[in-house]
Structure 1
Amino acid sequence: MTHSNNSYKPQGSKFHIRKELQKYLKYWYWFVLGIGAAIIGGVFYLRYTTPIYSAAASIIINQETSNNGGSEMPDLGFATGLKTNNLEKELAILRSRRIMHDVVKALNLNLTFFVDGQVRDVELYKNVPFSLKVLKLKEENDEGIGGESFKISLDKNNKLKITNLKTFETISAKPGTSIDLGFGNVVIQPKEGVESFSNITMRISEVDEVAAKYRGGLKLIQERENSNVIQLVLEDPVVEKAKDVIDQLIFEFNRDAIEDKNLIAGNTANFINERLDIINDELEYVESGKEEFKESNRLTDIKAESQLFVQTASDYNKQRQEIGTQIELVNAMLDYLSDSERAELLPANLGIEEGAINQKIAEYNDLVLERNRIMKSSTELNPMVIRINNNIDQIKANIFQSLQRLSKNLQISQNEVSRQMRSIGSKILAVPSQEREYRGIERQQSIKEALYLYLLQKREENSLALAVTAPKAKIVDSAYSSGYIVSPKSKSVLLGTVVLGFFIPFSIIYIRNLMDNKIRKRGDLEEITREISIVGELPRVKDKSELVITENDRSMLAEAFRFLITNLQFLLLKSRNTQKSAKILVTSTIKGEGKTFTALNLAITLANTEKKVLLVGADLRNPKLHQYLSKATKNIGLSDYLANKDLNLESLIGKSKFHKNLSILPSGSIPPNPSELLRQPKLDGMFKKLEENYDYIVIDSAPSMLVTDTFLINKYADLTLYIIKAGYTDKDLIAYPVEAKRGGSIPKINFILNNVQQVDLGFGNKYGYGYGIGKKSVFNWRNHAALQRILKILS
C-alpha cells in the first residue's frame, strides 16, 4: 500500500480535464437549479418588462443651387441665402434642443397617460378615453410645468374624480367644466361613446426633460459617406408615438428652414421696394427733362452729323453706363449699410462685381442669422452673443471700407471714360449743342431704366421664392415601423439567463475552490505529497447516534473501518517485530481532527474480529476517551499509573460497553507535567505487560504539532495513523507530518482521511463502494474465510 514519490504519473491532459470537471460535476444540482431559476427569471422579465419598438424615416437634405437661370444680370440670391454647404450644420439643427422642444410642445408629449396593470402600467397614447385642454397656467408656471401626477376616474353618474398623487387631495367635478389642478385650470371632456373609466394616471413632465429624453434616443444615420440621405431612428415603448415624433421633427425642421428663407426674402423685398421708389422718381425727372428739352428746342428728329464719332462715343457711353450702374449699386449699398441696424440682414449678391464684397456680405448674413437664433432663448449678455456681435461689427466695418474703396475705383474709371469721351467730343464740335445735351439726357434715362427693370425682375423672383418655398428635407419614407420588439429580445434574454444561471454556480464553486485552503478529498492530499500513503478514508457521519459502530454494523462508516484494518494488516506484516501484540498510535496535527473517534471505532472493528483489543487514552492534556467509560472508573487511568507506584495496571483497565473483546485504559487525571510522565521507564514496562494480554493496542495520542507527547510514545508504536480531517485541516499543515517522516521522528506514519463527504470518497464510492451496505447486517466476521486466513497468518 506504500506509494513513493515516483509511483504516480499523470496520464496526460485528458485526465486533468476530467479531474477539473469532477470539481463541478459533483455539484450538478446547483447548475440545474441555477439555470432553472435564471430561465424562470428571464421568462418573468420578458413577460413584465415594457417592450421597446423602433420607428424610422428617411429624408434627403436638399443641396440648394443658384437660381440665376443663365441671366446676364447679377444674381441677388434671395432664396439661397442659406445654401447647404455643410451637411453637419443641418444635422446639428435637426438634433438641436430647440427643434425637439417644439416637437414636444406640438405633440403634448409632456402629458402621458397610463392605465393601471397588475405588474406594470400600460401607456395610453391615442387611446385616452378623454381629452384634456389647459385653459390657463398660473403665473409661476408660465414657463412650464412638471412633476405632477393625477389619478382620473369617471363614474357612471358622469362625475369626474381627480386625485393628486402627491398630496392625495381629491377633486370632484363635471366633465367640460374648468377644474383647478393647482398648476392651472384645465378642462376634461370624455370622448364620444365613453360613459365611464377608472384608474387613468396622468403624469405631467417638464418639456425640457422630455425633449432631452427624445434627443438622447434619436439616431441620425447617414446611409453612405458623402450622401445627403439621412435615416432617422427612434425607439419607444409606444410605436405610434415614435412615428409621430419623427414625422413632427421633420416638419419642424422644414418649418424652421422656411422661416429663415422667408426672413431673408422679406428683408430683400423691403430693400427692392425702397430702391424702386427712389429710381422711379429719378426716372420721371429725367424723362420730364427730356420732354422739356425737345419742346424748348422744337426738336422732332436729331440727325447725327458724324456716324463714326457717334459710334465711338456710343461705346464709351456703354462703358460709362455699366460703371454708373455699379456706382449706383455701391452708393445704394453704402446708404443701406449706414442706416441698417445690427440685427438686419444685408442684400446678398446685389450685382456688385467685386467677389470679395459678396463673400463678406454672405458671411455677415450667416452671423446675423446665428445671432437671431440664439437670441430666441438667450439675452445680450450671453458670451456667445457678445462674440457674434463683435464679429458682426467687424465684418460690417470691413464691408463699408471695401464699398468705399470700390466706389473710389469706379469713380476713377468713370473719370477715365469721361476723358476719352471729351477727346471724341472735340472732334464733333460741329455737332450742335442740343445734340450733346440731348444725348446726355438719354444716357441718364437709359441708366435709370435699366436699373428700374432689373429691380422689377428681382422683385418678381423674390415674390415667387416667397410663394414657392421647397422644404429643406425631402421625405423619402415617412416614419414607419416593422412592429418587431427591439428590446428586450427574447432569444438574447433567454440565452443570457442560461449563461447567467450556469455562470453564477460556476463562479461560486470556482471562488470557493480558489479560496479554500482545506483538505477536502483524497486527491487534495495526493497533490501535496505522496511520501505518506493513505490507508483509509472515513465518510462523514451526519447523525451523532452513528458516530460509534456496533457489532454486525453494515453502514458506510463500518465498511470504511473494515477496509482500513485490511490495509493495516499488510502494513503490520512489514513493520511489526517479533512481539505478539500490534501497537497502533493514532495522532493528528491539531485537535478536533477526529483522533478519539478514529481510535475508538478502529478498536471496535478490531474487536469484531474476535481479537483482544485495548484502547489506551494517551492524551493526558485534553482527554476525550473517558466519556465512553462508566462513572466509577473514568477518573483514574494512565497518568495516575505513571505517577503512582502503588496502583495496579489491571485495576485501571475497564471493559467497554461497545464490545466484549474491547478494553479501555483511560487517560486518567490531568497531570501538571504530562511530558515528564511519558518519559518515565515505567511506560516501557507498561506496554510490555499489555502485549502479553492483548492482540492489538490502539493508542489515542495528543496532537503532535501542539505538544511533544506523541513523539515520546511513537517509539513504542508499530504503526502510526495520522488523522487528516476533510474540510477542517489546512493544506499548509500537511508539511508538518511530511517533515516528521523525513526527519525520522515519526517514521512509520500513514494518513487516514476523516470526515470525507460521500461525493468525495475515493475509488470505492466511484466504483461501488457501498455495494451491499445496509444499516445492520447479519454478516459474521468469524465466518469470513479470507479474513480468517489473514488473521491466522498474523497470529
Structure 2
Amino acid sequence: MEPSINKSTTFSNEDNLDLKQELNKYVRYWPWFLLTLLMAFIGAYIYLRYAPRIYQTTAKMKILDESDGLELPTSAFVFKRTNINLENEIEILTSYLILEKVAKELKLNSRFYEEGTIQTTQIGALPFYYEQIIQPDSIFNSLTYVIEVTDKGFDITNAKTEKSFNFPNHNSFKVNNNLPFQIKTENQQSLRDLIGKRFVIKFGTLRSAVLGLKSSIKVESIGEQSDLLKMTIKGESKERSEWVLNTLMDVFNRDGINDRQLVSKRTLEFIDARFEFLAEELDSIEIDRKEFKQNNNLVNLAADVELGLLQRSKSDEEVFQIESQLAVAESLQGVINSNKEGLLPTNIGIESGSINSLINEYNAAILVRDKLASSGGANNPTVQLAQIRIDDLQSNITKSLSSYNQQLIVSRSQLRGRNRKFVGQVSQIPRKEKLLRAIERQQKIKESLYLLLLQKREEAAINLAITEPSIKVVDYALSSTNPISPKSNIIYAGGILVGFLIPFGFLYLIFILDTKVHGKEDMAKLNSKIPLIGEIPDTKKKESLLFINPNDRSILAESFRILSSNVNYMLPLSEDHKGKVIYCTSTIKGEGKTYISLNLSLALSSLNKKVLLIGADLRNPQIHSQIKIDKNSAGLSNYLHEASFDWRKNIVKGFDKHPNHDILLSGSIPPNPSSLLTNGRFKELIKEAKEIYDYIVVDTAPTILVTDTMLISSLADVTVYIARASFTDKKLLAFSKDLSESGKLKNMAYVINGVGHNKSYGYNYGYNYGYGTKN
C-alpha cells in the first residue's frame, strides 16, 4: 500500500532566493557588525583627529594682449582673442624656468614644521626671526635640523649627524657657528608661548622643490570663451600656498614685461654705442674746421657766388641725406653681421618702409622663438619652425639693405653729376673755401645723425618706461576656510561602509565555503522531493538528551513528539493491525542516528504503545552506552548466529518510566555482519516482533560505509534518514537521494539533528568502519 505522506512536510520545488532568510543569516552575527562599526568609528575619529589638514588656495589672473594692454574690451573683443594662446601661456606659467625663479625667491627648498605630541604639522614660517644664510641653489643634499625652545635658549640638533648646538638667550647671531641659518627671538611676550615647543627645518635640493611645485600647481582656463586663468595649489600651510601663487603671478608678469622691454633695451644699447663713436667724430671735425680757418684766414663767402652756393647747398643737402641713409644702412648691416641671432634696433632712421617692417617682424619672431624654447626646448618642432622663419626674415633684410644701398649709390652718383654743373658757377671760390665747405658738410652730417639718434633714444626710453604689464590680477591667492581633506562626512561614511563590509565579507566567505547542512532550507534545495519530518534542536545539557520522562514538556521532548507524529503519517495504512517497522539510518557516523532511534522509540512509548528498539548496527553498537549496560551483553548478533537463542528472554528494560519500551541490544560484535543479516533470521525476528509490538524501531548502520542497511531495507515500513546540522556535508545528501530514487531505501524521510547550534552534541559515537567486513 502506498504511504500516506503529509504534504505539509514535503519540500517545495521553489529554488528562489529568500532575501529574509539570507538576511537572517547575517543578523545572527549582529555583535560582529556592532563591534566592527564601533572600531571603524573609532578609527575614523582617530584619523580625523590626527590627519594633516589640507587646504586649497586659488588665484585668478587675466592674460593681457600686448596690442590692447589694459584697455576695456570693445565690440571686436571676441575676434581679437585669437591673439592670446592660453595653452602656450599655461605652459610658460608652469615651466621649470618660471617656477625656479619662484622657488629661489621664496626659498621653497626650505620647509618648516611644528612637532606636536603625535602629529607634525607644516607651517609657512617659524614664529621667530629666521635668516637663511645658505643660498637655495647651494643645497645639494638633504639637511634636517630640530629646534627645541627652552627657557634658557635654543637647542638645535642636526638630525643626520646628531650634533647639537646650544644658543643661550635665544639668539644664534651672537655665537659663532656654521649653521646654514640664524635665528633669534624679538618679542619676550611671544617667547613664553614658544617654550617647550619643537620645530623642524628641512632643506632639500632646489630641483626637487621646483619639481614638487610643478606637480602641485594646477593651471586651467576658466572657460572656452574666457581668457582668465585659474591657479590652484593644495597644501598644509595656507600662508605658504598663498605666497607661492602671488609670487608666481608676480614673476610671470615681470617675465612678460622683460620680454616686451627687450627690443627697447637693445635699441638703447645700439644708440649708446653709436653716441660714443659720433661724439669722437664731431670733436675731430670741430678741431679740423677751427684749425683750417685759422690757418687760411677764412671768414665769409663772396656775395657774388651767393646764389650759386645756395643751389649747390641744396644739392649738397640731398647728397647729405643719401649719405646719411648709407651710413645708417651700413651700421645696421654691421649689427646684422655681428649679432645674427639677436634683436635688431628699430626706427633708427631708415627711410625704407619695407626694411622697417621686416625688422619689426624679425624682432617679433625672435621673441616668439625664445619663449617657445624656454618651455619646449631647442629641439621642439615649433621652435625649429620659428628658427626657419627667423633665418628667412634675416635673409630678406640683408637683400633689402643691399638693394637699398644700390639705389642710394645710384642716386648719389646722379646728384654728384648735377653738382658738377654748379662748379663753374662757384669756380671763383678759392680752393680753401671749397675745402672748408667739405669740412662743414661732414660736420653737418654727423650733427644731424647725432640728433636723429638722440631722438630715437628718447623714444626707446619712453617705450621702456611705459611698458604695460603682461597680466591683470583678478583675485590674489585666497585659501579655503575649511580644509578640503580630510572630509569628516566622507571619512565617517567610509567607516560605516568598512564597518559593514568587513564582517559581511568575512561571513560571506564563510557561507560560501561552508558545505554543511544547517536547516530545512538546505535540505529543500538539495532534495526537494523527500519530505522533512523533524528538526531536533541542539542542547548543551547532557542530562536532558534522553526522553526519560514521558510527561516531559521540554523543547527537546516536544520535538520528538512531533517527529513521532510525523512518522505515523509516513507509515502506510494497513488493516492487519500488526506492528510497524521504522528504520533509522544516516550517511556517516556522528550524525546522531542512535540518539534519534532511542528518543524516537521513547516518544512512541510515551503514547502507551508497545515499542521494541533493535540495535542493528552490528559493527559499532552504541545503545548499550546510553542505558549503562555491558557492551558484550547478548543480543541481535547472538540471535542471528544461534538458532536456539530466544530473543524474547534477552529483552532489556532501560527506562523505568517507560514500561512499554523494550530494547534488543546488538550483542557481541560479529566478524560477518552482512552474512548474519541475510541468513533469514532477521526477517523472522521482525515478523515475530510485529505480532507483539506496535512499533519496531531499528537502529541500522550508516549507508555510505557499509551495505548492511540496504540488505534488510525491504523490511522497513518507513526509513528515517538522519542528517546533522553543521556536520553533514551537502554532497553526502546526494547519496541518500540516489538511495531513495533507486528504491534501495523504502519510504524515506529526513530528520535534521542538532538544529540551532554550530557545535556537536558532545557524543562520540566512535564509528570506525575502517576494518574489513566478512560476509
Q: Same fold (TM over 0.5)?
A: yes
Preserved contact between residue 178 and residue 186 of structure 1 (Cα < 8 Å):
no
| Structure 2 CA distance for aligned equivalents of residues 488 and 503 of structure 1 | 21
CA 1:367–1:447: 2 relative to 1, 3 Å = farther
2:195 corresponding residue in structure 1: 197
1:554 corresponding residue in structure 2: 553
Deviation of 1:202 after TM superposition, in Å, equals: 0.8
1:708 corresponding residue in structure 2: 707
Match of 1:188 among 183, 188, 197: 183
Q: Residues 589-631 of structure 1, C-alpha deviation per residue, up to 9 Å, x if partnerless?
A: 3333332232222223223333333332323334433432435
Deviation of 1:675 after TM superposition, in Å, equals: 2.4
Q: Secondary structure at the match of 2:242?
A: helix
Deviation of 1:503 after TM superposition, in Å, equals: 3.6
CA 1:178–1:583: 2 relative to 1, 3 Å = farther
Preserved contact between residue 147 and residue 154 of structure 2 (Cα < 8 Å):
no
1:791 corresponding residue in structure 2: none
Q: Secondary structure at the match of 1:600?
A: helix
1:667 corresponding residue in structure 2: 666
Preserved contact between residue 131 and residue 183 of structure 2 (Cα < 8 Å):
yes
2:523 corresponding residue in structure 1: 525
Q: Secondary structure at the match of 2:484?
A: strand
1:50 corresponding residue in structure 2: 52
Preserved contact between residue 721 and residue 749 of structure 2 (Cα < 8 Å):
yes
Q: Residues 460-508 of structure 1, C-alpha deviation per residue, up to 9 Å, x if partnerless?
A: 2333344445443322222223412211222222333333333444444
Preserved contact between residue 253 and residue 469 of structure 2 (Cα < 8 Å):
yes
1:486 corresponding residue in structure 2: 484
Preserved contact between residue 178 and residue 185 of structure 1 (Cα < 8 Å):
no
| Structure 1 CA distance for aligned equivalents of residues 396 and 369 of structure 2 | 19
Larger CA deviation: 708-717 vs 265-274? 265-274
Deviation of 1:35 after TM superposition, in Å, equals: 4.0
Q: Secondary structure at the match of 2:712?
A: helix
User: What pairs with 1:431-470 in structure 2 (closer than 5 Å)?
Assistant: 452-470=450-468
Preserved contact between residue 305 and residue 425 of structure 2 (Cα < 8 Å):
no
2:146 corresponding residue in structure 1: 150
Q: Residues 11-63 of structure 1, C-alpha deviation per residue, up to 9 Å, x if partnerless?
A: 9x9x9554554454555555444444433433333233222222222222222
| Structure 1 CA distance for aligned equivalents of residues 223 and 304 of structure 2 | 72
| Structure 1 CA distance for aligned equivalents of residues 266 and 428 of structure 2 | 44
1:39 corresponding residue in structure 2: 41
2:685 corresponding residue in structure 1: 686
| Root-mean-square deviation (Å) | 4.8
Larger CA deviation: 421-430 vs 534-543? 421-430
1:63 corresponding residue in structure 2: 65
1:339 corresponding residue in structure 2: 338
Match of 2:399 among 388, 399, 405: 405
CA 1:620–1:463: 2 relative to 1, 3 Å = farther
Query: Counterpart amino acid of 1:176?
Result: N
Query: Counterpart amino acid of 2:570?
Result: L
Preserved contact between residue 349 and residue 358 of structure 1 (Cα < 8 Å):
no
2:716 corresponding residue in structure 1: 717
Q: Residues 628-673 of structure 1, C-alpha deviation per residue, up to 9 Å, x if partnerless?
A: 2435345654334433445442455433258544443333444443
CA 1:652–1:461: 2 relative to 1, 3 Å = farther
| Structure 1 CA distance for aligned equivalents of residues 173 and 157 of structure 2 | 16
User: What pairs with 1:584-599 in structure 2 (closer than 5 Å)?
Assistant: 584-599=582-597
Deviation of 1:584 after TM superposition, in Å, equals: 1.3
User: What pairs with 1:484-523 in structure 2 (closer than 5 Å)?
Assistant: 484-523=482-521
Q: Secondary structure at the match of 2:220?
A: strand
Aligned length: 723
Q: Residues 753-775 of structure 1, C-alpha deviation per residue, up to 9 Å, x if partnerless?
A: 2232279xxxxxxxxxxxxxxxx
Query: Counterpart amino acid of 1:539?
Result: P
Preserved contact between residue 654 and residue 663 of structure 2 (Cα < 8 Å):
yes
1:254 aligns with 2:253: yes
Preserved contact between residue 576 and residue 718 of structure 1 (Cα < 8 Å):
no
| Structure 1 CA distance for aligned equivalents of residues 633 and 671 of structure 2 | 16
CA 1:589–1:192: 2 relative to 1, 3 Å = same
Query: Counterpart amino acid of 2:120?
Result: D
| Structure 1 CA distance for aligned equivalents of residues 165 and 118 of structure 2 | 27
CA 1:596–1:434: 2 relative to 1, 3 Å = farther
1:161 corresponding residue in structure 2: 155
2:751 corresponding residue in structure 1: 752
User: What pairs with 1:171-250 in structure 2 (closer than 5 Å)?
Assistant: 171-174=165-168, 175-177=170-172, 184=179, 186-193=181-188, 194-195=191-192, 197-207=195-205, 208-250=207-249
| Structure 1 CA distance for aligned equivalents of residues 248 and 171 of structure 2 | 32
Match of 1:609 among 607, 610, 614: 607
Using structure 1 for the length normalisation, give the TM-score: 0.76
Query: Counterpart amino acid of 2:155?
Result: K
CA 1:753–1:226: 2 relative to 1, 3 Å = same
| Structure 2 CA distance for aligned equivalents of residues 537 and 65 of structure 1 | 93
Deviation of 1:736 after TM superposition, in Å, equals: 2.7
| Structure 1 CA distance for aligned equivalents of residues 510 and 259 of structure 2 | 69
CA 1:146–1:255: 2 relative to 1, 3 Å = farther
| Structure 2 CA distance for aligned equivalents of residues 506 and 349 of structure 1 | 82
Preserved contact between residue 345 and residue 368 of structure 1 (Cα < 8 Å):
no
Deviation of 1:532 after TM superposition, in Å, equals: 0.8
2:128 corresponding residue in structure 1: 130
Query: Counterpart amino acid of 1:707?
Result: V
Q: In percent, how many aligned pairs have the same letter? A: 31
Preserved contact between residue 113 and residue 200 of structure 1 (Cα < 8 Å):
no
Deviation of 1:108 after TM superposition, in Å, equals: 4.4
Preserved contact between residue 585 and residue 700 of structure 2 (Cα < 8 Å):
yes
Larger CA deviation: 719-728 vs 670-679? 670-679
Deviation of 1:410 after TM superposition, in Å, equals: 1.9
Using structure 2 for the length normalisation, give the TM-score: 0.78
| Structure 2 CA distance for aligned equivalents of residues 592 and 182 of structure 1 | 84
CA 1:686–1:186: 2 relative to 1, 3 Å = same
Preserved contact between residue 586 and residue 722 of structure 2 (Cα < 8 Å):
yes
Preserved contact between residue 519 and residue 725 of structure 2 (Cα < 8 Å):
yes
CA 1:549–1:46: 2 relative to 1, 3 Å = farther
| Structure 2 CA distance for aligned equivalents of residues 253 and 479 of structure 1 | 15
CA 1:458–1:619: 2 relative to 1, 3 Å = farther
| Structure 1 CA distance for aligned equivalents of residues 362 and 630 of structure 2 | 120
Preserved contact between residue 373 and residue 380 of structure 2 (Cα < 8 Å):
no
Deviation of 1:407 after TM superposition, in Å, equals: 3.0
Deviation of 1:681 after TM superposition, in Å, equals: 0.7
Deviation of 1:333 after TM superposition, in Å, equals: 3.1
Preserved contact between residue 129 and residue 191 of structure 1 (Cα < 8 Å):
no
Preserved contact between residue 722 and residue 750 of structure 2 (Cα < 8 Å):
yes
Q: Secondary structure at the match of 2:116?
A: coil
1:776 corresponding residue in structure 2: none
CA 1:562–1:432: 2 relative to 1, 3 Å = farther
Preserved contact between residue 326 and residue 410 of structure 1 (Cα < 8 Å):
no
CA 1:385–1:279: 2 relative to 1, 3 Å = farther
| Structure 2 CA distance for aligned equivalents of residues 585 and 636 of structure 1 | 21
Deviation of 1:720 after TM superposition, in Å, equals: 0.7
Deviation of 1:99 after TM superposition, in Å, equals: 3.7
CA 1:357–1:247: 2 relative to 1, 3 Å = closer
